Amino acid sequence: MINLIWAFLFLIGVVYAAFNGTMPEVNKEIFESAKEGVTLCLGLIFIMVFWLGIMKIAEESGLLDRLSKVVKPFLKRLYPEVPGDHPAMGYIVTNFIANLFGLGNAATPAGIKAMEELKELNGGKDEASRSMITLLAMNTAGLTLIPTTVIAIRMKYGSASPTDIVGTTLIATICSTTAAILFDRYYYWRRSRKNTK
Amino acid sequence: MFVEGGKEGFDIAISIIPYLVGMLVSIGVFRASGAMDACIHFVQPLLTYLGIPPEIVPQAIVRPISGNGALGLMIDTIKTHGADSFLGRLASTIQGASDTTFYIITVYFGAVGIRKIGDSLKVGLLADLVGAIAAIVVCTIMFK
């Protein structure tokens, strides 16, 4: 279904370009975007290789355990379909903690591993289970305590107080995360009603 | 142990390539053709009526589509209006309020071969919308 969206956008773009004479830009963009995609993935390889290795080490050192104990009760309530001692829950916790500290690059491998485990829990089907949708919603709402990239850029462009947006960002991200949880629950409720009819 | 984890990472990243390239090419074409600008211009009058500063609309719309694209627009806004201006702070807040929904769906679901995404896109985009609105409201209260 998501692929339909891309095909649709592509088509609209091409048709619009044909009518507006922007075809040269479009041609250039196809190559640039494809290049960007492969470059991104190669970068992703390095990141994944590095962080999955680091995560194993953090796991062994017990640091992850201590942070996990704090967040786990909350996450168990958020993902009621996932057994507390299943590997999926471990990855969900890691993913959540990584996002909290603004380490998007560490969150991605953990999130992907979580998806893998959730897929197994769901019997290997290629449709998104309830927990997967929740995981996705939580990641895209992006509960981040410290927006490191934004602060760095503000410093670079001469902000007198780069961190003054931390408070506003925190409030906004809490709102989006809360909304994500509420909408996720709402759509789950709708799906269950449809299924019981 | 580190090596095992590493090898898995390699396999996963490779498997994502077709999905990511497809997404970036489609969005790129949509943007480069001018169709994206046309759509944004179409909606702007309504947004201005609602008290939403038109300058940050492209960034807010692009935010769920491309993290780098939105970052670029934020930098644009900061360069034009100043990092500590109302618009500069608003752009900064919007950037951190949510994440790149389409990228996350593509990568997370693509890596494990999920084709039917269910309601995840709806929930994701709604959350992004709430984040952007919250950012506008909070910044208006605190910085104006």
Average pLDDT (A90-102) is 84
Asked if A4 is an interface residue toward chain B (Cβ–Cβ < 8 A), one would say: no
Shortest CA distance to B97 belongs to which of B69, B51, B133, B142? B133
How far is A102 from A96, CA to CA, in rounded Å? 10
Cα–Cα distance measured from residue A74 to residue A181, given in angstroms and rounded to the nearest whole number: 12
A142: chain B residues, CB-CB within 8 Å: 96-99
- Which chain A residues are closer than 8 Å to B41 by Cβ? none
Q: What is the pLDDT of residue B106?
A: 87
Q: Which of A161, A82, A109, A57 is nearest to B82 (CA)?
A: A161
Using pLDDT thresholds of 50, 70 and 90, give the confidence band for residue A173.
very high
pLDDT of residue A47: 65
Asked if the Cβ–Cβ distance from B5 to A108 is below 8 Å, we say: no
When pLDDT is averaged across residues A158-168 and rounded to a whole number, the result is 86
Q: Which structure tokens are listed for A96?
A: 């959540």
Residues in chain B with pLDDT values less than 70 = 1-6, 8-9, 12, 144
Q: Is the CB of B12 less than 8 angstroms away from the CB of A40?
A: no
- Residue A132: band (very low, low, confident or very high) from pLDDT cuts 50, 70, 90: very high
Contact A120, A77 (CB under 8 A): no
pLDDT at A2: 60
Q: Which residues of chain B neighbour A42 with C-beta distances below 8 Å?
A: 13
Choice among A124-128, A180-184, B87-91, B136-140 with the minimum mean pLDDT: A124-128
Q: What is the pTM of this model?
A: 0.75
Which of A13, A53, A161 is nearest residue B30 as measured by Cβ atoms? A13
Q: What pLDDT does A44 receive?
A: 66
The predicted structure's pLDDT at residue B27? 73
The C-alpha of A184 sits at a distance from chain B's nearest C-alpha, in angstroms, of 6
One-letter amino acid of A103: L
- Rounded to a whole number of angstroms, the distance between the first and last alpha carbons of chain B is 53
For B40-51, b where at least 16 C-beta lie within 10 A, e where not — what string? eeeeeeebeeee
Radius of gyration of chain B (CA): 18
Look up residue A126 and give its DSSP letter.
Answer: S
Name which of A8, A9, A31, A155 to mutate to probe chain B: the one with the most chain B Cβ atoms within 10 A of its Cβ: A9
CB contact under 8 A, A168 and B93: yes
**Nearest beta carbon to residue B109 from set A26, A128, A183:** A128
Flag whether residue A39 sits within 8 Å of chain B, measured between CB atoms: no
User: In this structure, how many other beta carbons lie within 10 angstroms of the beta carbon of residue A68?
Assistant: 19
- Decide: B87 and A159 in contact? Cβ < 8 Å: no
Are B26 and A34 inside 8 Å of each other by CB? no
**Bridge partner list, B116:** A127
pLDDT of res. A59: 67
Inter-chain CB proximity A175 and B64 less than 8 Å: no
Q: What is the pLDDT of residue A114?
A: 93
Model confidence pLDDT, tens digit, residues A139-148: 988 787 877 7
Question: For the packed helices B120-143 and B101-111, what is the interaxial angle rounded to 10 degrees?
Answer: 150
- Per-residue pLDDT tens for A4-28? 777 888 888 888 888 888 888 888 8
Q: What pLDDT is stored for residue A177 in this prediction?
A: 92
- ipTM computed for the complex: 0.75
**High-pLDDT (> 90) share of chain A, %:** 20
Give the pLDDT band (50/70/90) at residue A182: very high
Q: Which of A3, A20, A159 sits opposite B84 (nearest CB)?
A: A159
The pLDDT value given to residue A106: 74
Q: B138 near B93, Cβ under 8 Å?
A: yes
pLDDT at B127: 92
Instruction: Of A30-34, A80-84, A126-130, B24-28, give the lowest mean pLDDT range.
Output: B24-28
Predicted pLDDT of residue A102:
67
Cβ-Cβ contacts under 8 Å, B115 against chain A: 1, 126-127
Chain B contacts in chain A segment 116-175 (CB below 8 A): 116, 119, 126-128, 132-133, 135-137, 139-142, 144, 147, 149-150, 153-154, 157-162, 164-165, 167-169, 171-173, 175
* B contacts of A135 (beta carbons < 8 Å): 108
Q: How confident is the model at residue A134 (pLDDT cuts 50, 70, 90)?
A: very high
For residue B108, give Cα distances in angstroms to A23, A111, A118, B105. 32, 7, 12, 5
Contact A106, A55 (CB under 8 A): yes
Three-state SS string over A146-185 comes to CCHHHHHHHHHCCCCCHHHHHHHHHHHHHHHHHHHHHHHH
Q: Does residue A52 surpass a pLDDT of 70? A: no
Distance (Å, whole) CA A50 – CA A57? 11
* pLDDT for res A85: 84
Using the beta-carbon criterion (under 8 Å), do A17 and B128 form an inter-chain contact? Answer: no
Q: What is the CA radius of gyration of chain A?
A: 20
The Cα–Cα gap between A157 and B83 comes to: 6
Give me the mean pLDDT over the A108-113 stretch. Answer: 88
Neighbours of A156 (CB within 10 A): 12
Mean pLDDT for all residues in chain A: 83
CA atoms within 13 A on the CB side of B48: 8
